[in-house]
Amino acid sequence: MDKSGEAYWKATLGLLTKILLVWFLVSFGAGILFVDLFNKIHLGGYPLGFWFAQQGSIYVFVALIFIYAKKMNDIDRKFDVHED
């Protein structure tokens, strides 16, 4: 693999690492690990930890899909492997 290919995969894996880190923090962190801390805060009458476990994480996951698509398109354009 040439230098450009290596740089492309490094950028792609860096993006995936960041996306998965956010996914982990929201799903496991906010919904399980830090639920007692978040439950002290109320959002719409419900404890924040419960809200993240039931709805908030879904909003974040959908946002992550759009962020991933945008950033991946940017990486593809940077390395001239985009579809046009």
Return d(Cα 51, Cα 30) in angstroms, integer: 9
Q: How many structural domains are present in the chain? A: 1
pLDDT in tens, 59-75: 999 999 999 999 999 99
Domain region containing 7: 3-78
pLDDT in tens, 5-55: 899 999 999 999 999 999 999 988 888 898 899 999 998 888 988 888 888
Output the pTM of the full model: 0.82
- The answer to the question of residue 27 being in a domain is yes
Give 44-66 as a 3 state SS string.
CCEEHHHHHHHHHHHHHHHHHHH
- The answer to the question of residue 83 being in a domain is no
Q: What is the distance of C-alpha 11 from the center of its chain?
A: 15
Contact 68, 15 (CB under 8 A): yes
